[in-house]
Amino acid sequence: MDIFQVVGIGLTGALLAVYVKESNREIAVLISLATGLVLFIYALSQVGEVINVLAELSSRANINRYYLMIILKIMGVAYIAEFGSQICKDAGESSTATKIEFAAKVIVMVLALPIIMALMESVLRLLP
Amino acid sequence: MNIELIFQIAGIGILTSIFHIILKQAGKEEYSFIATLAGVAIALIMVVQLLADLFQQVKGVFFL
């Protein structure tokens, strides 16, 4: 099972980071960053299959491919921003983490604008 | 999943802390600082390559 590998890598990285932290704090942050990267890359390879299924379902349901792309882009932005803000929080820079999250929210809103506009237009068409 | 990279970075960290202690005992404070900086730089290069890998993969998966 892959979950044992994931938990093992996580525990090993955490243990090494704690061990190195007292003598060398920057390297401890880099170790936790590398552990997170390895785990994220693994998780991403699984997410790819889910997205393929989603794309097939949407094409079968005749949903516009443009909207699915927007949703996937928003997911990607959220994924990257979450990762970066968690790393900043681990390093003790919670103000930078908050700014990353804020920027991600703005980017998500900009990406979602076409969907909001389409919703508005359909609501206006329904109104007499 | 390449766990070797995590071990490599931890090894760099332990080695640089040992260098730091030895150089401090020998009275070379400025060299100990440079040794720590070099260790951090080497580890950072390795991590940045992995980060670029992650970003490329995210770009591919989410059509960014």
Give the residue extent of every domain in chain B: 29-58
Residue B26 is given by DSSP the state T
**Å between B31 CA and nearest CA of chain A:** 16
Range A120-128 average pLDDT = 89
Query: Which pLDDT does position A62 carry in this prediction?
Result: 86
In terms of domains, do A40 and A56 share one?
A: yes
- Residue-wise pLDDT for B25-53, tens only, equals 998 888 888 988 999 999 999 999 999 99
Are residues A68 and A55 part of one domain? no
Strands (DSSP E) found in chain A: none
Residues A128 and A68 in one domain: yes
Share of residues in chain A with pLDDT > 90 (%): 51
Count CB neighbours of A21 within 10 A.
Answer: 16
> A36, A61, A86: which is the final residue of a domain?
A61
Q: Do B61 and A12 touch (CB under 8 A)?
A: no
Contacts of A66 in chain B (CB under 8 A): none
> Domain range holding A89?
64-128
What's the whole-number average pLDDT of chain A?
Answer: 90
Q: At what angle do helices A65-90 and B29-62 cross, to 10 degrees?
A: 160
Rounded to whole angstroms, how far apart are CA atoms A87 and A107? 20
Assess whether A44 and A80 both reside in one domain. no
Coarse DSSP helix, strand, coil percentages of chain A, rounded to the nearest 5 percent: 90, 0, 10
Q: State how far the Cα of B64 lies from the Cα of B57, in Å rounded to an integer.
A: 10
- Report the alpha-carbon distance of residue A77 to residue A102 in Å, rounded: 12
Q: Contacts of residue B64 in chain A, CB cutoff 8 Å?
A: 73, 76-77
Give chain B's mean pLDDT: 89
Q: How far is A34 from chain B (nearest CA, A)?
A: 6
pLDDT at A24: 83
Q: Identify the pLDDT of residue B61.
A: 85
- pTM for this model (two decimals): 0.83
Which residues, 6 or more positions from A113, have their beta carbon under 8 angstroms from its beta carbon?
none
Total structural domains in chain A?
A: 2
Q: Give the pLDDT mean for A24-49.
A: 89
Contact yes or no for A77/A108 (Cβ under 8 A): yes
Residue-level pLDDT at A102: 96
User: What is the ipTM metric for this complex?
Assistant: 0.86
pLDDT of residue A22: 86
Indicate whether A55 and A73 sit together in one domain: no
CB contact set of B12 (below 8 Å; sequence gap of 6+) = A27, B39, B42, B43
Q: How far is B25 from chain A (nearest CA, A)?
A: 15
Using CA atoms, how far apart are residues B49 and B5, in angstroms rounded to an integer? 11
Residue range A4-20: mean pLDDT, rounded? 92
Residue B64 pLDDT greater than 80, yes or no? no
CB < 8 Å to A72, chain B: 62-63
Q: State whether A47 and A27 are in the same domain.
A: yes
A123 pLDDT band, cuts 50/70/90, is very high
What 3-state class would DSSP assign to B64? coil
Q: How high is the pLDDT of residue B52? A: 93
Q: Are residues A96 and A123 located together in one domain of the fold?
A: yes
Res. A103: pLDDT tops 90: yes
pLDDT of A49-82, one tens digit each?
888 898 899 889 888 888 888 888 998 999 899 9
Specify whether A57 is located in the same domain as A23. Answer: yes
What three-state secondary structure class fits A91? coil
**How far does CA B7 lie from the centroid of its chain?**
11
